[in-house]
Chains A and B, each alone.
Chain A
Amino acid sequence: MGRIPRDYLINRLVTLVLTILIAATIIWIIPRLSPVDPAEIALGRMAAGAGAVANSEEILAQLRANMGIDQPLIVQYIKYLSGALVFDFGLSTAAFPTPVSTLILNALPWTLGLMILSLIITFFIGNLLGALMVWDRSPKLVRVAIPAAMVFTSIPPILSGLLLMWIFAAKLQWFPLTGAYSIFVEPGWTWEFVSSVLYHGFLPALSIVIVTFGFWALGMRGLMITVQGEDYVKLAEAKGLRPRYILYRYMIRNAILPQITAFALKVGLLIAGQVLVERIFAYNGMGKLLYDAILNQDFPVIQGVSYVIILMTAVSVFLVDLLYPFIDPRIRHGVT
């Protein structure tokens, strides 16, 4: 591991494992404190489907045995944790008997795709605009327009999603209202399918981009102000280097690094925000899966989705922390 000191690595690893363990435990404890009995919900669903259910007591007992909730709590807990390690959360109660992991595996690529796309776009736009706000040679328009536009980036993505959806999908009908791809297209690696996915993903991605780039721009602005006064920038100016060259090679390259750590702290909020955007656009990702599970009181799915998202967040924070010294050689890991 070269430059990463052992203490630091161990420290980060312990934090990672603790995060996952605590999150998994909270998720497990909460439904067990609740007065709602999942077996009764399942029975209620059967009764609603069939009109009436005979010998309901026996069925309840059998359901409880199937769900494993007749065993002592400690046994349930250990089973749950060992299951969570291999992403086994049991069977969905609403889409019985589909395993929860299958449902999540189907939804995950959509969420990841949308997230990576919108993240890359915001990171570039946000940092560039933030840098231009400070640069003394940017056009006046940029310096006035960006702060004005940034005011709107304080709102959460779900609100921008609603607005964009109304304007571009409901009113102008330029983009589809819901879904991740057209129902008339066969999923597969065909041009038609890919273009349909991009077409459907545009609005959800845009609604995340327009409300998150401000975060980057603001951070970048603060960092650029610090870099601006550095001696090496003055030296570069004195050498007569082209201003644009100084901006990209001297200022942005130095200022952008702490932004990467800021990103690590923001991942969790970003994912949570995206879950809501997926819900309003009925995008086939984790957000829709979660929302449907909430509607159906499908606890294994709710648990599974929450667990996977928390895991994703924790792991990305861990990776950014570890990769940071490779990106920025000035930083040496002290044990903070």
Chain B
Amino acid sequence: MTDAPITRSERRQQKRLKRFDNPWMNPKLIWGAGLLLGIIALGLIGRVLWDPELVFTGSATLKLPPVGFENLRKQPGVWSNPLGTDGGGRDMLALIIIGAPNTLFVGLLASLIGMSIGIFLGFSAGFVGGRTDDTIRVLADVMITIPPLLILVVFQSAFGDVTLTMMALLIAGFVWQSPTRLIRAQVLSMKQSGYVQMAQLSGASTSHIMFREMMPNLVPYLFGSFIASVTTSIVTAVGLEVLGLGPQRIPTLGRTIYEAINAGALIQNLWWWWGIPTLLLATMFIGLLLINLGLDEVSNPRLRKLS
């Protein structure tokens, strides 16, 4: 135990006091949210500034590299396709402008639905108890072991093409379990706590207790659980797309990778074809991870002292 870390943490402590000790303002959370907002902004602003029509096959020369590079045929990159083009002559920039928000959309929609189911079931199980609790608990335990990817592989190979919304709905069927378990456990422990019993004694209605007394305490957990299920949803969606099972006509990041692998982009050194979507997905996951770490610090003050 040297003196240096103590003074440093003290300095940090003072800094935090200046910010009225607001745990929500931690750098991890801000960076993570920044990365995600950047991707969303890319999708929104990109549509205005760049021509989305370029996502169609054959809108440019095939397999052009990004600006500043040469492909194996010695063609230099051109400014009309700054990030290069894929094997079908689609502009990579337009592909990611259209594809990245699609991928995020699936993740967000799936986990919004999943969370809503989870909140509903978790509160019901924790509050009602008895037979309801048993049923919900066993169902959540059962569903949590089934890997969503495999069920969805069966589904989508049987039905062929799906829309983005359809895929999100299907994934939502597999991301409600952990929120359900988490909320149930929290509700059970909170039910014993003083302020809830006080509220009950003073005759507050069930919905008042649920939403005004308990919900605010659950917020960090809910956010954390939400971000975790966004990650799971996107991983599952990308997995399906890379197997060639996602939406067939809508550009997504996963499908671009699928086409690149199938066309042998790795051997042909067309790194921008699979590399750019990979990089963008990685950025997305890093952003989600940072948000999750930041939220951990909000809900678990012990972690704050460390970093």
Q: Does B257 interact with chain A (Cβ within 8 Å)?
A: yes
**Looking at A35, A218, A272, A299, which has the most chain B CB atoms within 10 Å of its CB?**
A272
With both beta carbons as reference points, the residue of chain B lying nearest to A28 in the complex is identified as: B154
- Residues B285 and A165 in contact, CB atoms below 8 Å apart: no
Interfacial residues of chain A within 220-258, with CB under 8 A of chain B in the complex: 222, 225-226
B275 contacts which of A147, A166, A295 (Cβ < 8 Å)? Answer: A166
Q: Does B190 interact with chain A (Cβ within 8 Å)?
A: no
B303 contacts which of A15, A166, A225, A290 (Cβ < 8 Å)? Answer: A225
Against B, the Cβ 8 Å flags (1 = close, 0 = not) of A286-326 are: 00001101110101001101100110011001000000000
The distance from the CB of A175 to the nearest CB of chain B, in whole angstroms, is 13
A290 contacts which of B146, B153, B278, B281 (Cβ < 8 Å)? Answer: B153
Q: Does B51 interact with chain A (Cβ within 8 Å)?
A: no
- Residues A302 and B239 in contact, CB atoms below 8 Å apart: no
- Residues B150 and A147 in contact, CB atoms below 8 Å apart: no
> Given A36-B158, A156-B235, does the pair A294, B142 have CB atoms closer than 8 Å?
no
**Looking at B150, B151, B257, B293, which has the most chain A CB atoms within 10 Å of its CB?**
B150
B242 contacts which of A14, A33, A271, A279 (Cβ < 8 Å)? Answer: A279
Interface-forming stretch among B37-45, B199-207, B216-224, B266-274? B266-274
Bound complex: CA A19 to CA B303 (Å): 36
Q: Does A151 interact with chain B (Cβ within 8 Å)?
A: yes
- Residues A268 and B266 in contact, CB atoms below 8 Å apart: no
A-B contacts at CB below 8 angstroms, number: 149
Interfacial residues of chain A within 262-291, with CB under 8 A of chain B in the complex: 265, 267-269, 271-273, 275-276, 279-280, 290-291
Q: Does B145 interact with chain A (Cβ within 8 Å)?
A: yes
Chain B, interface SS category? helix
Interfacial residues of chain B within 286-301, with CB under 8 A of chain A in the complex: 286, 288-290, 293, 296, 300
Q: Which residues of A contact B285 (CB under 8 A)?
A: 154-156
Chain A, interface SS category? helix
B157 contacts which of A26, A154, A297 (Cβ < 8 Å)? Answer: A297
Q: Does A13 interact with chain B (Cβ within 8 Å)?
A: no
The distance from the CB of B144 to the nearest CB of chain A, in whole angstroms, is 7
> Given A156-B235, A162-B274, A276-B239, does the pair A302, B286 have CB atoms closer than 8 Å?
no
Q: Does A134 interact with chain B (Cβ within 8 Å)?
A: yes
Bound complex: CA A326 to CA B288 (Å): 36
The distance from the CB of A230 to the nearest CB of chain B, in whole angstroms, is 13
Q: Does A105 interact with chain B (Cβ within 8 Å)?
A: no
Residue total for A at the interface (Cβ-Cβ under 8 A): 62
A302 contacts which of B143, B157, B281, B290 (Cβ < 8 Å)? Answer: B157
B151 contacts which of A27, A166, A293 (Cβ < 8 Å)? Answer: A27
Q: Does A177 interact with chain B (Cβ within 8 Å)?
A: yes
- Residues B303 and A294 in contact, CB atoms below 8 Å apart: no
With both beta carbons as reference points, the residue of chain B lying nearest to A38 in the complex is identified as: B158
> Mind listing 27 A-B residue pairs with CB under 8 Å?
A15-B138, A15-B141, A18-B142, A22-B142, A22-B143, A23-B151, A26-B154, A30-B151, A30-B155, A147-B307, A155-B281, A155-B286, A156-B238, A158-B239, A159-B278, A159-B282, A177-B266, A222-B303, A225-B302, A269-B147, A272-B150, A273-B239, A294-B245, A297-B157, A299-B158, A302-B157, A310-B145
Using a CB–CB cutoff of 8 Å, the interface residues on chain B facing chain A are 1, 138, 141-151, 153-155, 157-160, 231-232, 235-236, 238-239, 242-245, 257, 261, 266-267, 269, 271, 274-275, 278, 281-282, 285-286, 288-290, 293, 296, 300, 302-303, 306-307
Which 5 A-B residue pairs are closest in the complex by CB-CB distance? A154-B289, A34-B158, A268-B147, A272-B149, A306-B150
Using a CB–CB cutoff of 8 Å, the interface residues on chain A facing chain B are 14-15, 18-19, 22-23, 26-27, 30-31, 33-36, 134, 136, 147, 151-152, 154-156, 158-159, 162-163, 165-166, 169-170, 177, 218, 222, 225-226, 265, 267-269, 271-273, 275-276, 279-280, 290-291, 293-295, 297, 299, 302-303, 305-306, 309-310, 313-314, 317
